[in-house]
Amino acid sequence: MVLSEFAGVSMPDWLDAILRIIFIVALMTIMAFALIYGERKILARFQARVGPTRTGPIGTLQSIADALKLITKEDVRPITADRWAFELAPYMAFVPVFLVFVPMPFTETWFIRDLNLGLLFVFAVLGLNIVGVVMAAWGSDNKYALLGGVRAAAQAISYEIPMLLIVVAVVMVAAGRLAVDGDASAAGSINSIVGDQTTTPYILLQPLGFFIFIIGMLAELHRPPFDMPIAESEVVGGYFVEYSGMRWGLFFLAEYTALFLLVVLASSLFLGGWNWPFGADVGLGLQIVLTLVKTTVMIVLVIGSRALFPRLRIDQLMSFSWKVLLPFAIVQVIANGIILSYGGADWVVGIVSFGLLVALGGLVYYIMRRKQGEGARTVQTTPATPRVITAPEVTPVEAGGD
């Protein structure tokens, strides 16, 4: 979105830039508030509760109350903490996430900048997030925080690789399709990728890609079943265990902002973003609605996974990433390369990807059922064979004494 066009006035570049920054921060804070409230309400419904009801009509002001509480809370720094690492960590976690906002297309015209390498930018900057987490973990001088931070780092490294590979596969498909119009070099721009999905969302062409992207997204966001960096029952909150007040709030804000951005990214890459799949060129209003609907569906998926999945163990998470997801992602990239370089049709790509997804699901299902064991549900039962009740003999003893 170009603000000067939107507002209908001309303004200098620096003012435009400042206004855009304010716009980003304001919008993302509002989105984070809405997401926190939405998560609490939806999670409550999953859990046979009602969620917040007391602050405002049906609890809608709960996030604002929380924010006020966080701002007014005392900002505690442990005396043994590494001062600068501890104090700067929240910003290191928070700023990269907001930077990722720049190439995100919310509608056809609403975005900050259409970067030619937008996808690369997103992953390069989002990866910096982990620096803040590790700084917080190390700076807190707390063993739980250290364990949580190391877990987070290991997790981020292992899950960004299959995720990036799968994005490469998507870009390959996009480049192949965009080359028909003569501009394959635009395939790194998120806008071009969305623009290409007017009739065919890429989830039909890359179902495996969508699946791996969602898994990687959950891991990136520390969401169950990949929430061991912040596992309450093991490391009591993980890397932000020593934080309080608004510093903790910044981690929280970064987490929810990242959730929203990654969901928008997933919807742009796989669900067609602001496109209506049955006809091109819908108006701006409908584009906003479509973006919101697609992101909301995925957010409910993410929140549902929080309610319905327990937590994996750290070694299981790593082996799932390196031994299952990564090979499948590589196979997907190679398959796309072969098919597209021989001029295969789009539907061939889609069928191959779907076949890979079925293979992945079957493999996981087979492994888990073998681990669960035969007849695990029907524990062998011994029929009760009651005997006649015999009261135990009451034997007199020399008791008492003093």
Partner 1 sequence: MVQQTFEGEVLTEPVVVEREFETVDMNINIGPQHPVTHGVFRMVLTVDGEIVKDAIPYIGYMHRGGEKLSENLDYRGALGYQDRTDYLAAFNSEWVYVNAVERLAGIEIPERAEYVRLILAEFNRLLSHFMFMGAFGTDVGYFGTAFTWTFKERERIQDLFEAVCGDRIMYNYFRVGGLAWEPHETFIEDSHWVLDQVEVGISDVDELMTDNEVFVARCRDVGAMTADEAISYGVTGPMLRASGVPFDLRVDEPYSIYDRFHWEIPVGERGDVYDRYLVRLEEMRQSVTILRQALEQMPTSGPIEPERMPARLRPAPGEIYMRQENPRGEYGIYMVSDGTDKPWRVKMRSPCFHNLSSLKPQVINTYLADAVVALGSIDIVLCEVDR
Residues in contact with partner 1 by CB under 8 A are: 43, 46-49, 143-144, 147, 150, 224-225, 227-228, 231-234, 236, 306-316, 364-365, 368, 371-373, 376-377, 379-389, 391-392, 394-401
**Residue number with CB closer to partner 1 (182 or 310):** 310
For residue 174, the minimal CB distance to partner 1 (Å) is: 33
* Tokens at 57, concatenated: 């009509």
**Residue number with CB closer to partner 1 (9 or 48):** 48
Angstrom distance (rounded) from CA 269 to CA 325: 19
For residue 122, the minimal CB distance to partner 1 (Å) is: 28
For residue 154, the minimal CB distance to partner 1 (Å) is: 10
* Tokens at 17, concatenated: 């830039």
**Count of C-beta atoms within a 10 Å radius of residue 383:** 4
Angstrom distance (rounded) from CA 235 to CA 144: 5
For residue 151, the minimal CB distance to partner 1 (Å) is: 8
* Tokens at 175, concatenated: 């480049």
Q: Inter-axis angle of helices 245-270 and 129-139, to 10 degrees?
A: 150
**Residue number with CB closer to partner 1 (113 or 313):** 313
**Residue number with CB closer to partner 1 (9 or 389):** 389
For residue 313, the minimal CB distance to partner 1 (Å) is: 5
**Count of C-beta atoms within a 10 Å radius of residue 399:** 5
Please state, in angstroms and as integers, the Cα–Cα distance from residue 141 to each residue in 7, 73, 94, 237, 368, following that order: 49, 21, 21, 14, 38
For residue 159, give the 3-state DSSP assignment: helix
* Tokens at 294, concatenated: 């697609």
**Residue number with CB closer to partner 1 (47 or 80):** 47
C-beta separation of 216 from 165 below 8 A: no
